[in-house]
Amino acid sequence: MRRNEEVALLLDNIAELLMLKNENAYRIRAYTTAAQNIRALSEDIEEIARQGRLDDIPGVGKALAAKIQEYLETGRLRYYEQLKQEVPVAAVELLEVPGIGPARAHTLYASLGVTTIPQLLEAAQQHKLRDLPGFGPKVEERLAREAARLAQRTRRLLLGVALPIAEEVIALLRSHPGVEAIEPAGSLRRMKETIGDIDILVASRRPEAVTEAFTHLPLVREVLATGTTRPSILTRDGLQVDLRIVGPDEWGSALQYFTGSKEHNIALRGLAQEQGWKLSEYGLFGRDGRRLAGRTEEEIYHALGLDWIPPELRENRGEIEAAREHRLPRLVEFTEIHGDLHVHTDWSDGHDPPERLVEAAISRGYQYIAFADHSQSLGVARGLSPEQVRRQHQLIEELNQRYAPFLILHGAEVNILPDGTLDYPEEVLELFDIVTASVHSAFDLPRERMTARVLRAIQHPAVDILGHPTGRLLPSRAPYEIDLEPVLKAAAEHGVAVEINGQPDRLDLDDIWSRRAIDLGAILATNSDAHSIRQLENMRYAVATARRGWAEAQHVINSRELADVLTWLERRAPARRHRWRTSGARR
């Protein structure tokens, strides 16, 4: 099934480019229909191609079959490459603007060279649109407004930036006497990795008073809208916060609606419609208009024959079917996390000394922590020399005496060198209790070589965790080229945990790949990758990502008790067993 989605996306992309070319609707629909049908296949498209049955797929004729065949075999499609020469791909963005269809988009890029929303805004402000065929002053004015709105909206925030601010607002409003309930909504409640804007929902019988308090919070820079039930502000950090105030009776339906996602809501509304019912932010209503549910979210889901669905799963990725069949996962909880296996000290590029990190970990209720300073070749991050590793080993033994029964594991974040070997000789690797292997250099290797590189590291018996497996940085650095399927399979086979790195700009693996890792039998490690005490908090984002990836506690190595983690660490390196027995650290 590996390439089904890839092929479907390719066909969708072609359809979009054809739209921009203003091709006839019939041809365009042929591509989107084929894409849909390929997504619905329960068979691997590569297998179908091998058996020469591509044109048996509904909506796929001989010509399209040949194109898919070409793409599957060569990784390229000449027709698509050629289209990209003819049509500026960036202009697809214009189709997002309400009021711009294919014909107008075509006119915009063909006569003005406008391909992006900011360019559209500029052209509208300079009154260059009104004289274009099919536009006019009214349209120009409207497009200027829409483009201005969208240009703002495209700036997405990291979850780790948005959540603390939202929580500050919520804490400040919660104590207001008019507030009966308050929760984050939207992508924030779903803990998505990036957030378009911050949505907060309040239940109150006194919306004017709440709006008054909200728009006068100390962190408000500018009030964008004052409507009594929908005030909106800009914070001092320049973030937009939308508040919705509803009556307590509508709390459940409003929370459900404003949590989204849009796709999840559409699917849910469809379920209601099958019964002849109507679902909106005001409630679930029967054929005769009688209100069936709406005070709580549970009420609504139950009325629709579903178990209540945790917000992190509400993306229409199978959660509704699972809820109907009572097979939703029991998602891992933050309180089930017993330790953090990736923390940097001031020995490499961290800010805080080991002792203080240990104390912070203990006060978080953890049973164990692993220091994972950088390895020798990472000069910029003050990677440790073998000599320093030996001294750090000594120090950790002393700390373990002092802090028992809490256990400090001596770990390292060891670079995977371009050829897949590790950045320390064997006799140094043997000193570590736990090793996280990560790629920190040569990001531009071809896909096959990057994959082979990481596979080789996984096979090394010293390696326990694969660190930030794709190397992406939000919002700017794309993942390096790597074929994750075999990597995750190898990790599963060797008992190597796959990291969900909790740094807000990493969240790597992401939600989708985390879910795939679980399906392939791999175990995850939710790690903070903290470089300071404060950043131990990153664990939250790692756990949230795991939850979005449908992870249960059993799928997360650091939700295990200390003794079970030690057993796991002994799986390929039995000599380690001797170590914790003699140090007396094992309870």
- Chain residues binding Ca ion by CB under 5 A are 186-187, 196-197, 199, 242
Tell how far CA 529 is from the center of its chain: 17
What does 260 interact with, of Zn ion, ligand DGT, Ca ion, none (CB < 5 to 8 A by kind)? Answer: ligand DGT
The smaller minimum CB distance to ligand DGT, of residues 29 and 262, is found at 262
Q: How many residues bind Zn ion (CB under 5 A)?
A: 1
Minimum distance from CB of 506 to Zn ion (Å)? 8
- CB 457, CB 422: distance < 8 Å: yes
- CB 59, CB 69: distance < 8 Å: no
320-325-326-327 Cα dihedral, nearest 10 degrees = -80
The smaller minimum CB distance to ligand DGT, of residues 140 and 183, is found at 183
Minimum distance from CB of 312 to ligand DGT (Å)? 12
Count CB-CB contacts under 10 A for residue 584.
Answer: 11
What does 438 interact with, of Ca ion, ligand DGT, Zn ion, none (CB < 5 to 8 A by kind)? Answer: Zn ion
The smaller minimum CB distance to Ca ion, of residues 199 and 315, is found at 199
What does 262 interact with, of Ca ion, ligand DGT, Zn ion, none (CB < 5 to 8 A by kind)? Answer: ligand DGT
By the criterion CB under 6 A, which residues form the site for ligand DGT? 186-187, 192, 195-197, 199, 257-258, 260-262, 265-266
Minimum distance from CB of 537 to Zn ion (Å)? 18
Tell how far CA 121 is from the center of its chain: 30
The smaller minimum CB distance to Ca ion, of residues 51 and 154, is found at 154
In the bound complex, which residue of the shown chain has the CB atom lying closest to Zn ion?
Answer: 438
Sign of the CA dihedral running 500, 501, 507, 513: negative
Minimum distance from CB of 64 to Ca ion (Å)? 38
**Tokens describing residue 109:** 């890029």
The smaller minimum CB distance to Zn ion, of residues 490 and 530, is found at 530
Stated length of the chain: 587
The smaller minimum CB distance to ligand DGT, of residues 258 and 277, is found at 258
What does 432 interact with, of Ca ion, Zn ion, ligand DGT, none (CB < 5 to 8 A by kind)? Answer: none
- CB 299, CB 522: distance < 8 Å: no
- CB 64, CB 56: distance < 8 Å: no
Q: Are strands 339-343 and 194-195 parallel, antiparallel or unpaired?
A: unpaired
The smaller minimum CB distance to ligand DGT, of residues 4 and 240, is found at 240
The smaller minimum CB distance to ligand DGT, of residues 196 and 247, is found at 196
C-alpha distances (whole Å) from 126 to each of 78, 96, 123, 140 are 39, 21, 5, 10
What does 2 interact with, of Zn ion, Ca ion, ligand DGT, none (CB < 5 to 8 A by kind)? Answer: none
What does 236 interact with, of Zn ion, Ca ion, ligand DGT, none (CB < 5 to 8 A by kind)? Answer: none
Minimum distance from CB of 240 to Ca ion (Å)? 8
The smaller minimum CB distance to ligand DGT, of residues 69 and 261, is found at 261
Minimum distance from CB of 155 to ligand DGT (Å)? 11
Cα–Cα distance for residue pair 13/85, rounded to 1 Å: 14
Cα–Cα distance for residue pair 321/311, rounded to 1 Å: 15
Minimum distance from CB of 342 to Zn ion (Å)? 8
What DSSP designation does 111 have? I
C-alpha distances (whole Å) from 96 to each of 36, 115, 398 are 20, 12, 60
The smaller minimum CB distance to Ca ion, of residues 71 and 257, is found at 257
Please choose, out of 105-113, 208-216, 223-231, 433-441, the segment that lies near Zn ion by the rule CB under 5 A: 433-441
Q: Any long-range contacts for 143-147 (C-beta under 8 Å, 24+ apart)? A: 143/97, 143/99, 143/100, 146/97, 146/98, 146/99, 147/97, 147/117, 147/118, 147/120, 147/121
Which residue type occupies 440?
H
Minimum distance from CB of 156 to ligand DGT (Å)? 7
Please choose, out of 8-16, 280-288, 341-349, 430-438, the segment that lies near Zn ion by the rule CB under 5 A: 430-438
Minimum distance from CB of 247 to Zn ion (Å)? 49
Minimum distance from CB of 315 to ligand DGT (Å)? 10
Which residue type occupies 256?
Q
Spatial CA neighbour of 425 closest among 379, 382, 387: 387
- Does 438 participate in binding Zn ion (rule CB under 5 A)? yes
By the criterion CB under 5 A, which residues form the site for Zn ion?
438
